[in-house]
Amino acid sequence: MRRGIIAVALSLGVGVGLGLLPAAEDAVSSSIQVISKVGPEGTGNAEAAAAWKTLAKSGPEALVPILRALKTDAPLAANWLRPAFEAIAERVLTAKKLPQSDLVEFLEDTKNDPSARRLAYETLLKSDPTIADKYMPRMLKDPSPELRRDAVGVVLEHGDKLAKTGEKDAAKLAYEKALGGACDPDQVDAIATALKKFGVNVDVQKHFGIVTRWHLATPFDHTNRKGWDEAYPPEKGVDLKATYKGKDGADVKWEATSTSDAHGVVDINKIIKQYKGAICYAYATVESEKDQDVEFRAGCICGLKIFVNGKLLFAREEYHHGSKIDQYIVKGKLKAGTNEILLKVCQNEQTEAWAQKWTFQLRLSDAVGAAVPFTQKEAK
């Protein structure tokens, strides 16, 4: 009976994939399982190579299972799975047999791995360039940073086209829509610039979740970089009324400041004084209405440590290799109520003109880069 069904399918020109699906699924599944077991230092590579050859020869039925197996936190397996997917997709696209509806379903399920969803989107785009206009505007709040960026880019480009043709109201609406999903600094800045032409002033600091209000205390000794491992008094507890003994016997007091820079840059040299071989502590408090997961996104031209509620969260000793918003992204938490943030900003003793900057910046976001809700009291 089964042979008869296959014969009828062949006579009708219908692919026999459905008839062979169980066997095909077994081969695909077993190959993926073998590849998923690869480990560090070449563990399982020989078996994975054999499995890859089998998997890469599979038909379109293997595309979604491979996507489901792709995990951002399993890069070794991804190094095998992604090329297999691409090899199959290339053949399927040439034969115009892409299982578009299956890939769309995978793309729209936000529980799937972000990098795998992006791969599905890129493959769909090769099959149908109109996919971007069809799906991207609906993905402005997508949890995948890459897809969200793509979505913002599509809507932003649409706004630019409307602006060029003189459709001002429609362009303004498009830009405002794009801003609602924008998290990446370059896109936010571009949208803010575009909206300003329409009389809309975007609060970029608020959009980014910038920590703007700080107390600074400097200089603490960092001669020969000795202060990096030295826990000066602020690390043991901040008292804004305290006076400390600093570098060369200097009296160090806390000085309140705030930044108006759109990206939250705080220039210590301009606020206090230019010191070399010194440490500046920057202290801020933020209020959170609830316990929440947060990404502490910092930029710093010098050595940096981040303490949150008394615990060291991040440390990176690097000097004058550049600084930008979101330079360092560190996962952490805010508790309900008042949270204390202490930065240890370390300046070395280089004398070159390009090694004189002493700056930092910090913003609080979710995993996509969107600002999390918090408030700050006026620094006093």
Distance CA 340, CA 361 (A): 16
Indicate whether 327 belongs to any domain.
yes
Query: What is the pLDDT averaged over residues 59-70?
Result: 96
Asked whether the beta carbons of 298 and 263 are under 8 A apart, the reply is no
Query: Per residue in 222-279, pLDDT tens?
Result: 999 999 999 999 999 999 999 999 999 999 999 999 999 999 999 999 999 889 999 9
Query: What is the pLDDT averaged over residues 327-351?
Result: 97
- What is the enclosing helix (H) or strand (E) of 49? helix 45-56
Distance CA 310, CA 258 (A): 22
| Residue 26: per-residue pLDDT | 84
What single letter denotes the amino acid at residue 355? A
In the chain, the number of structural domains is 3
pLDDT confidence tier of residue 15, bands split at 50, 70 and 90: very low
Residue range of the domain that includes 60: 2-128
Query: What is the pLDDT averaged over residues 112-122?
Result: 95
Residues 215 and 351 in one domain: yes
Residues 194 and 341 in one domain: no
Residues 237 and 306 in one domain: yes
Torsion, Cα of 53, 59, 62, 67 (10° steps): 90
Residues 17 and 142 in one domain: no
Residues 96 and 149 in one domain: no
- CATH at residue 219: 2.60.120.380
Residues 56 and 77 in one domain: yes
Residues 213 and 88 in one domain: no
Q: Is the whole-model pTM more than 0.85?
A: no
| Residue 23: per-residue pLDDT | 58
Instruction: Give the list of residues 6+ apart from residue 92 with CB closer than 8 angstroms, or none.
Output: 59, 60, 63, 98, 99
Which of 177, 202, 227 is at the close of a domain?
A: 202
Backbone angles phi, psi at 197, to 5 degrees: -70, -20
* Cα-Cα end-to-end distance for the chain: 86
Query: Per residue in 148-195, pLDDT tens?
Result: 999 999 999 999 999 999 999 999 999 999 999 999 999 999 999 999
Q: Provide the greatest CA pair distance for the chain.
A: 95
Indicate whether 370 belongs to any domain.
no
The residue that leads in pLDDT, 2 or 317, is 317
Residues 193 and 53 in one domain: no
Indicate whether 60 belongs to any domain.
yes
From 288, 290, 254, 289, select the one nearest 271 (Cα to Cα): 254
Residues 171 and 255 in one domain: no
pLDDT confidence tier of residue 5, bands split at 50, 70 and 90: very low
How is 149-202 classified by DSSP, letter by letter?
A: HHHHHHHHHHHHHHHHTT-HHHHHHHHHHHHHH--SHHHHHHHHHHHHTTT---
* 287 pLDDT more than 50: yes
* 379 pLDDT more than 60: no
Which of 202, 222, 248 is at the close of a domain?
A: 202
Q: In what order do the strands lie in the sheet with 266-267?
A: 266-267, 359-365, 292-300, 328-334
Residues 21 and 93 in one domain: yes
DSSP-assigned letter for residue 372: P
From 89, 27, 96, 101, select the one nearest 60 (Cα to Cα): 89
Indicate whether 36 belongs to any domain.
yes
Indicate whether 335 belongs to any domain.
yes
Distance CA 316, CA 294 (A): 19
